[in-house]
Amino acid sequence: MDDSNNKTTKNEKITIEINESTKGKTHAMAIELALTLSKQLEPWKRHVKGLTIKKNNRIFKKVS
């Protein structure tokens, strides 16, 4: 039986940045995505500026 969904990687790091210049629908989607993922981040990192999501220091998603 594969239980890989229940395993976590201790070294996994997700960083979210939201650019001030991001506006309109893209900005709204960026905020929604950031709020969705914020449960995985420390509280003080939840409120940041532009949207760059880095997973293990590699750019996972970038909205500019």
63: three-class secondary structure by DSSP: strand
Inter-residue contact 51 to 61 (CB < 8 Å): yes
The Cα 21–Cα 36 span in angstroms is: 21
Query: If you ran DSSP here, which 8-state letter would residue 7 be given?
Result: -
pTM reported for the whole predicted model: 0.28
Q: Transcribe 12-61 into DSSP letters.
A: --EEEE--TT--HHHHHHHHHHHHHHGGGS-GGGSS-SSEEEEETTEEEE
Q: What is the pLDDT of residue 30?
A: 72
User: 1-57, pLDDT tens digit by residue?
Assistant: 444 555 555 556 666 666 666 566 677 777 777 767 766 655 545 444 555 666 666
